[in-house]
């Protein structure tokens, strides 16, 4: 961590850095950036920041759109992709007043506030999150969304649909749902993933492992080591940055879309969660269900109670709900179980040591703004702990069976997640008080998120699709 601008400039000199880059996050979770030369970096950069238009980033519920960002001197890395050596800082957003104050709806600030709330309420001293990033890489991607024409097309040489082609075909193709842990020569992305992981480790994103995933046409997974919400938010953004830019260097393209291919496995961002007091794990208690403590059960109860409204921040795209359908191992049942991949919450059966005891929220995907996703999950968890929401008493489980194999009558007795953004909007409008506790989330950012979701849902519902032409054109 740097203490002042002089230490930054000294670091730049020692490492032959030419530019300083600042990453800003919009409401949807995309990075934007602004760059200056090292010559322009000074005490004023840190103390007074650099101005920008906040309304262009989706933050609409503010008195004035003029804002400033300041570098977070504890969060930086050297960009591995730029030709000119560049030092990158994460940023903090401030409102422009007589005295700059933090912008309450800054997603990184919300993650900071959720950790402070946890400690102030004496729930825990440390929260650890461990996301799994699933994504696809393709050779090409084309799409068109015009009034008179709408289409998309993706392709990759490894896909089973290319089995008939004569060119670039060695017969080692990965067929439908056949990609899980495939080895060379079918795992054509192995070298690329190794490069991704080496770059991630270089910029302080420790990786647990990586592998090919179920989806035959190039689905893969990178799983990270555990960290606190704010640091994990930064690392999540770095993962998407490195994956997409490395794919580009290989003349390929990567997407974190939850459902880029009809009928094929979708891509999620499962989030493992743990709480500690000091070094004492709070989710472990010998003899409880799956050796889960009462606090651990309450934490799950809070998330299950608020599952529908959580999706406003964990699954904010229309494409999210093309993944969250029965089958394809999609977690659509609002319940919990041990080693159960069809439930919203899964307790890993292999995590048996006290310091490993955790649960996994499975519906979320990487179209989420990671900071808002992690903070929302934490607030639901804290609500469950504070109000002792027992998931067993509330009939959320446990279900240690594949729910998709139950009869339709039995499945209906288990609540389901919303199936579209319209239902999610209704859920968050009626269930957001738990997010506002302690001033962690603001009414403004919830309002902005609702407006964003409404815009997305309306746009999708108004657009004719190629399938509709096939089904109805001749009627």
CATH number where 29 lies: 3.10.20.70
Same-domain check for residues 154 and 221: yes
Question: Is 329 a residue of the active site?
Answer: no
In a domain, 110, yes or no: no
Contacts for 118-123: CB closer than 8 Å, 24+ residues apart: 118/378, 118/382, 120/438, 121/382, 121/386, 121/438, 123/275, 123/382, 123/385, 123/386
pLDDT at residue 62 in the model: 61
Range of the domain at 9: 5-103
Same-domain check for residues 96 and 169: no
- From the candidates 139, 264, 362, 448, give the one annotated as an active-site residue: 362
Same-domain check for residues 134 and 26: no
Same-domain check for residues 142 and 12: no
Question: Is 341 a residue of the active site?
Answer: yes
- From the candidates 193, 252, 270, 323, give the one annotated as an active-site residue: 270
- From the candidates 79, 106, 221, 264, give the one annotated as an active-site residue: 221
In a domain, 362, yes or no: yes
In a domain, 395, yes or no: yes
Same-domain check for residues 327 and 396: yes
Q: What is the mean pLDDT of each run of 10 residues along the chain (475 residues)?
A: 92 96 95 96 93 80 77 97 97 84 93 97 97 97 93 94 87 90 94 98 97 95 97 98 98 97 95 97 94 97 98 98 81 86 88 93 97 98 98 90 74 86 97 97 95 96 92 93
pLDDT at residue 241 in the model: 98
Question: Is 360 a residue of the active site?
Answer: yes
CA-CA distances (angstroms) from residue 155 to 107, 146, 160, 246, 256? 35, 22, 10, 18, 16
Question: Is 362 a residue of the active site?
Answer: yes
Question: Is 467 a residue of the active site?
Answer: no
pLDDT at residue 59 in the model: 80
pLDDT at residue 182 in the model: 92
Alpha carbons 334 and 304: distance in angstroms, whole number: 6
In a domain, 120, yes or no: no
- From the candidates 44, 53, 121, 468, give the one annotated as an active-site residue: 53
Alpha carbons 329 and 143: distance in angstroms, whole number: 28
Alpha carbons 225 and 61: distance in angstroms, whole number: 35
pLDDT at residue 63 in the model: 60
- From the candidates 72, 79, 106, 132, give the one annotated as an active-site residue: 132
Q: Are 121 and 204 in contact (CB under 8 A)?
A: no
Question: Is 115 a residue of the active site?
Answer: no
Same-domain check for residues 352 and 396: yes
Tally of structural domains, the chain: 2
* pTM across the whole model: 0.95
- From the candidates 291, 360, 365, 456, give the one annotated as an active-site residue: 360
Question: Is 270 a residue of the active site?
Answer: yes
- From the candidates 213, 234, 448, 456, give the one annotated as an active-site residue: 213
Q: Are 274 and 292 in contact (CB under 8 A)?
A: no
In a domain, 258, yes or no: yes
Same-domain check for residues 330 and 219: yes
In a domain, 112, yes or no: no
CATH number where 430 lies: 3.30.590.10
In a domain, 356, yes or no: yes
Same-domain check for residues 289 and 401: yes
Alpha carbons 428 and 434: distance in angstroms, whole number: 11
Alpha carbons 213 and 171: distance in angstroms, whole number: 20
- From the candidates 176, 341, 411, 422, give the one annotated as an active-site residue: 341
pLDDT at residue 370 in the model: 98
| Tally: H helices and E strands in the chain | 14, 17
Same-domain check for residues 65 and 171: no
Radius of gyration of the chain (CA): 23
Same-domain check for residues 93 and 133: no
pLDDT at residue 403 in the model: 75
Alpha carbons 34 and 50: distance in angstroms, whole number: 9
pLDDT at residue 97 in the model: 75
Alpha carbons 66 and 51: distance in angstroms, whole number: 7
Same-domain check for residues 138 and 28: no
Same-domain check for residues 192 and 92: no
- From the candidates 21, 72, 115, 134, give the one annotated as an active-site residue: 134
In a domain, 294, yes or no: yes
């Amino acid at each position: 961590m740097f203490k002042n601008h002089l230490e930054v400039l000294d670091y730049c000199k020692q490492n032959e850095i030419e530019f300083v880059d600042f990453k800003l996050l919009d409401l949807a979770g995309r990075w934007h950036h602004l760059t200056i030369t090292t010559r322009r970096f000074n005490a004023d950069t840190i103390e007074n920041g650099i101005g920008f238009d906040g309304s262009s980033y989706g933050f609409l519920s503010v008195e004035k759109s003029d804002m400033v960002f300041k570098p977070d001197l504890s969060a930086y890395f050297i960009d591995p992709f730029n030709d000119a050596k560049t030092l990158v800082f994460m940023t903090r957003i401030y409102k422009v007043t007589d005295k700059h104050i933090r912008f309450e709806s800054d997603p990184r600030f919300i993650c900071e506030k959720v950790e402070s709330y946890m400690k102030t309420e004496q729930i825990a001293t440390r929260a650890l999150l461990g996301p799994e990033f699933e994504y696809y890489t393709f050779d090409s991607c084309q799409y068109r969304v015009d009034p008179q024409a709408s289409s998309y097309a993706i392709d990759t040489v490894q896909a089973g649909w290319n089995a008939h082609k004569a060119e670039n075909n060695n017969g080692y193709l990965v067929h439908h749902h056949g990609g899980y842990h495939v080895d060379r020569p079918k795992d054509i992305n192995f070298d690329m993933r190794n490069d991704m992981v080496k770059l991630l480790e270089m910029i302080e994103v420790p990786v647990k492992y990586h592998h090919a995933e179920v989806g035959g046409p190039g689905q893969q997974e990178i799983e990270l080591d555990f960290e606190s919400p704010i640091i994990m938010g930064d690392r999540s953004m770095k993962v998407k940055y490195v994956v997409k830019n490395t794919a580009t260097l290989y003349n390929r393209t990567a997407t974190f879309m939850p459902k880029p291919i009809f009928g094929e496995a979708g891509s999620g961002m499962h989030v493992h969660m743990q709480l500690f007091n000091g070094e004492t794990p709070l989710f472990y208690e010998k003899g409880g269900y799956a050796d889960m403590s009462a606090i651990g059960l309450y934490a799950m109860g809070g998330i299950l109670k608020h599952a529908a409204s959580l999706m406003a921040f964990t699954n904010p795209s229309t494409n999210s709900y093309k993944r969250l359908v029965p089958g394809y191992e999609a977690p659509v049942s609002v319940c919990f179980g041990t080693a159960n991949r069809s439930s919203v919450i899964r307790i890993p059966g292999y995590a048996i040591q006290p310091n490993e005891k955790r649960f996994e929220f499975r519906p979320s995907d990487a179209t989420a703004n990671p900071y808002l996703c992690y903070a929302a999950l934490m607030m639901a968890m804290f609500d469950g702990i504070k109000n002792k929401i027992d998931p067993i008493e509330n009939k959320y489980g446990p279900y240690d069976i594949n729910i998709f194999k139950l009869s339709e009558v039995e499945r209906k007795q288990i609540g389901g997640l919303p199936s579209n953004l319209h239902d999610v909007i209704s859920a968050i409008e009626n269930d957001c008080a738990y997010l506002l506790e302690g001033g962690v989330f603001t009414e403004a950012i919830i309002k902005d998120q609702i407006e964003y979701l409404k815009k997305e849902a309306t746009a999708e519902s108004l657009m004719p699709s190629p399938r509709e032409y096939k089904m109805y054109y001749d009627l």
